[in-house]
Chains A and B, each alone.
Chain A
């Protein structure tokens, strides 16, 4: 089944404790991205990657890192999480080019205490 998977689905952590949220897709998509969703603010793009070893900042990159060492994986790294990073995070992927459906993962709900 074609899908985007994220792990963990739920995470409660404390300020300053490094964490990684994994994202994997099995559709051979070139383009992958991370969003955060907050009430009243909709979906905001954190980082995106056009292909392996090619990443770029989205609208709200501060406090986040990403890597794209393999085509299928695009982990999101929070080196020193803070409470304002408490949010619902979505990974997404699609084929290169504009006219292609973007698939979303099921989401990771992160709480930073």
Chain B
């Protein structure tokens, strides 16, 4: 089945540093989504990408849909302590009549004040 490789698995950074994480796949996806999960909560959508090559920002977050449609990256600029959490990528592809979302295994971000 389809799989997503998300890296890195974890990151320990200093407050103020920029962060970069990515997801790759051997399969083509029609949409890429990035979620953040705070401790003890469910994942919340950060950015949605719908077109190959698309670059989208949401505050300090920037994500891109790879031109090959097999990868995506998420950048966080000037990290702050509340950026701590697990970040998931999800690739969407057409399957059946509703489509499927495949999730990466997550990148755990720790920010040292």
Contact = CB atoms under 8 A, between A and B. Distances in A.
A104 B43 contact: yes
B103 A107 contact: no
Contacts of A90: 42-43
Interface stretch (B14-22, B61-69, B94-102): B94-102
B104 A107 contact: no
Interface string B62-106: 000000000000000000000000001010111011110101111
A106 B37 CA distance: 10
B40 A50 contact: no
A101 B45 contact: yes
A102 B101 CA distance: 9
Give the interface size class of chain B.
Answer: 20 to 34
A35 B103 CA distance: 10
Given A40-B105, A42-B88, A42-B105, A97 B98 contact: yes
Contact of A102 (B45, B93, B96): B45
Given A42-B88, A42-B105, A99 B31 contact: yes
A85 B46 CA distance: 29
Interface residues of A, number: 26
A30 B99 CA distance: 12
A107 to B, nearest CB: 5
B100 to A, nearest CB: 8
Contacts of B40: 106-107
A59 interface: yes
5 contacts: A31-B98, A42-B88, A50-B97, A56-B96, A102-B45
Interface of B: 1, 6, 30-31, 33, 35, 40-45, 48, 50, 88, 90, 92-94, 96-99, 101, 103-106
Given A35-B103, A43-B106, A98-B99, 12 more contacts: A31-B98, A42-B103, A50-B96, A90-B42, A90-B43, A96-B98, A98-B30, A99-B92, A102-B33, A102-B45, A103-B45, A107-B42
- Smallest CB-CB A-B distances: 5 pairs: A98-B99, A104-B42, A42-B105, A43-B103, A50-B98
